[in-house]
Structure formats: C-alpha cells, structure tokens
C-alpha cells in the first residue's frame, strides 16, 4: 500500500500505527519523527500541496485536512484518488481518527488500541485537572497578533483551549467560542499571568521574537514582563497521540512543584 500524507498529524499517526513503510510522500510541514522523514518525497506546504506531485506517486490513500485542503480533496476525487479526512476539532475525534486510519491501513486492532490508550489518558488528565486545589495561572493562547492590537485567540471549546484547562491553567478566553478574532481591548488582557505562544523552528522563535508584539502590545504588563508560556507549534497545533507530551510541557510551566501534582500519580 502506498500512502501520501499532507497532514502532519496524519503522518504522526501512521508511525504510531506501525505503517511507516507504506509512506511515500509528505508535506513540507511534516516533521515528526524527523529521522524517518528525510528520504521521503516533499509535496509542498500544508496549505498548498502540489496535486501533480501527489498523483505522480500513485498513492492508494492520501491523508489530508478537509477543512483547509478542501480543494485538494475535490481534485483528488476527480482523478479517482482515495483520500481520508484527518481533521480533528474535538478530543473524541482524535481517537476516532486513529480507528478510521487503522481500518484503512489494514491494522484495525492497532487503531482501536490507540483510541483506548488515548481516551484512558485523557480521562486521567480530566480527573487530575478537576481535583487541582492550587491556583491556576490565568493565560490566553495567542495565535496571531497585529500591531493595532487585534488578535486571534483560542476559545474554551477549542482543542488548544481545552489543553490549557487540562494542564491546570485558567483560560482568559474560556467564554469565547472557536479560534476567534478579538479587538484591541486592554481589559481583555488585564490580570493575566501569561500569554501562551508557539515556538517555531530550531531557534524556537515566537511572536514576541518576530516583532508581532510591538506597538499596541508593548504597554501590556504581560508583554513588558515577557510572561510567556511557550510550547512547540508541532505539539500545540496538532491533534495527535503526542497530546499528552503537550500537556506535560504546559503543566510543568503552570506548576513549579511538578511532578508533585502530576496526573500520572492519579
């Protein structure tokens, strides 16, 4: 079986299911596990994968994100190429995708096992989070920031917002829905203990390093004090079996007494 994955989280699941030998091509943004991907065909960036390059590999299955790569899905269907949508917007969808992919790859028992493992660990984190008695740092997950103060933040119903809750934070945007644009309202950022930022590349740069938090942002106490919670983009922005590595990294920054408060003690 020949598989192409232009979905970074899908690429990770293929390895988790033990089917890496079937993988023949990936997107430019697929980077885990790095030592297995270096000899595979690169098919363009996540948002603009090259259709011709994909078809040249004669895949039996293409993994993609139906939300952001909808046109690609239509083009593949037009050429009679089978594809599987791996977009996961809610926690329960991660386990279901593992099951669907396991069936598609001919290893349904592995898919079911991965779903069971994921859901069991998710429940462990839920119990731990619900039982926290220490102060939860109040933060906002900042995805993008403009010089005029507008920004995109993660609401309470998003996977990234849910990660903050499970890792022992108070999400300052919990009352909002989705990944939403907020206007330049300083009151929104008052009393924050930190901003949650992604790091990119080997130098681990953030929005604060590329000049996005200048201008309007410079007067915010949380920016002046550089009170940032940082995690790799490849963890925070992907719904994969590595979700618990993300929660570990977040929780360690929220609670200095870790591992005394570790959910793995539950």
| In the chain, domain spans | 3-123, 138-265
Task: Answer whether residue 265 shows pLDDT above 80.
Answer: no
Q: Enter the tokens of residue 259.
A: 């591992």
Average pLDDT (10-30) is 93
Which one, of 48, 40, 78, lies nearest residue 64 by Cα?
48
**Virtual CA dihedral for 52, 10, 197, 120, nearest 10 degrees?**
170
Q: Looking up tokens 């009170």, which residue turns up?
A: 227
Check residue 258 and give its pLDDT.
Answer: 60
Q: Which CATH code for domain 138-265?
A: 3.40.50.1980
Query: 216-224 — which CB contacts under 8 Å span 24+ positions?
Result: 216/147, 216/148, 216/149, 216/184, 217/145, 217/147, 217/149, 219/186, 220/186, 220/189, 221/192, 222/189, 222/192, 222/193, 222/194, 222/195, 223/195
pLDDT band of residue 241 (cuts 50, 70, 90) is: confident
Second-level CATH architecture of 3-123: 3-Layer(aba) Sandwich (3.40)
CA–CA dist 264, 18 (Å, integer): 26
Any idea how long the chain is? 266
Task: Answer whether residue 213 shows pLDDT above 80.
Answer: yes
Two domains, one topology: 3-123 and 138-265:
yes
Helix or strand run (H / E) with residue 95? helix 91-104
Tell me: cis bond preceding 104? Omega within 30 of 0 counts.
no
- Per residue in 56-109, pLDDT tens? 999 999 999 998 999 999 999 999 999 999 988 888 899 999 999 999 999 999
Check residue 266 and give its pLDDT.
Answer: 41
Average pLDDT (179-183) is 95
């Amino acid at each position: 079986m020949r598989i192409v994955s232009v979905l970074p989280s899908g690429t990770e699941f293929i390895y988790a299911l033990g089917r890496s030998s079937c993988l023949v091509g990936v997107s430019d943004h697929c980077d885990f596990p790095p030592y297995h991907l270096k000899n595979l065909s690169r098919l363009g960036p996540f948002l603009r994968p090259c259709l011709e390059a994909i078809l040249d590999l004669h895949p039996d299955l293409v993994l993609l994100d139906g939300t952001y790569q909808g046109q690609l899905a239509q083009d593949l269907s037009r050429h009679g190429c089978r594809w599987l949508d791996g977009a996961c917007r809610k926690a329960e969808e991660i386990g279901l995708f593992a099951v669907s992919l396991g069936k598609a790859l001919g290893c349904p028992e592995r898919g079911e096992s991965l779903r069971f493992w994921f859901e069991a660990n998710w429940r462990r984190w839920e119990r731990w989070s619900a039982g926290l008695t220490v102060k939860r740092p109040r933060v906002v997950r900042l995805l993008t920031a403009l010089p005029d103060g507008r920004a995109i933040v993660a609401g309470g119903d998003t996977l990234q917002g849910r990660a903050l809750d499970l890792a022992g934070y108070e999400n300052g945007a919990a009352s909002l829905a989705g990944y939403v644009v907020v206007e330049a309202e300083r009151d929104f950022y008052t009393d924050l203990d930190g901003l949650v930022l992604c790091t990119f590349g080997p130098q681990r740069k953030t929005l604060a390093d590329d000049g996005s938090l200048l201008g309007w942002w410079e007067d915010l106490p949380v920016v002046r004090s550089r009170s940032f919670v940082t995690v790799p983009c490849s963890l925070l922005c992907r719904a994969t079996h590595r979700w618990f590595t993300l929660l570990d990294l977040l929780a360690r920054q929220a609670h200095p007494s870790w591992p005394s408060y570790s959910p793995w003690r539950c």
